[in-house]
Amino acid sequence: MNGVRIEIADGVAVVTLNRPERRNAFTADMGRALGRAYRDLDADDAVRVIVLTGAAPAFCAGADLGDGAATFEKPGGPAFSASPVDPPAFALRKLVIAAVNGHAIGIGMTLAMQADIRVVAADARYAIPQVRLGVVPDAMAHWTVAKVAGMSVAADILLSGRTFDGAEAVRLGLARHCLPAAEVLPAALAIATDIAVNVAPMSAALSKRLLWDTAIHGYDPTRVADLETESHLRVMGSPDAAEGIRARIDHREPVWSARLSSDWRDLPQA
């Protein structure tokens, strides 16, 4: 599907950027396909967690530079967006893990920053180098990087456009784990499988939405407390709230019954 491959098993959807002959260099078609994949998977109750990765040996080498110096020519119509994947990963109800199994440059890295969790390859290069190409960072990186790792890290990475490795990505707070490239996807799948089995889908969706809404809207602690209370009241007394306790007592895997496709309601915004 336009450079994006989807595989679903055991509650986990693996979405692969799939142009290995171009190191998964990003195109407008890929952006549209990735957005469609996100929407479809978010609506699928069989999917609990999404893992975004790249066909080896790279995650995403950045924008496809096949047009040379004309790559960043001004577009002729109003359809252009510097955030070409709609919705972004953070807007989904399902948890998104970026298994960054190789080089992630430019939009490759900025798309990974929209995920909830990142596992990166130690022996790969990472950069958001747009300022070195005469353009600016994209995919909401001025917001995601600052929210995830702080303003100082964002200024360092975005304004210098410098390259760094997986170990530094973890030190800077841009990633959770740094592993050899061959271990990145298996590690991400292990995290995803644990969540798919043991985390209640409605609880995860409510917590994710509150976490990102707080970042987006700048909620103060009182507003967060109110929304946490409302979220509790939605799930307390539910079959899943009872099932979680029963499964813990019985030392077995829980069997969740809530369905986001039919039971979900967005949290109110201030």
Q: Which residues of 144-163 are buried (b: 16+ CB within 10 A; e: fewer)?
A: bbbbbbeeebbeebbeeeee
Mean pLDDT of the chain: 95
Largest CA distance in the chain: 63
pLDDT digits (tens, 9 = 90+) for 154-186: 999 999 999 999 999 999 999 999 999 999 999
pLDDT digits (tens, 9 = 90+) for 70-123: 567 777 777 788 899 999 999 999 999 999 999 999 999 999 999 999 999 999
CB 195 within 8 A of CB 204: yes
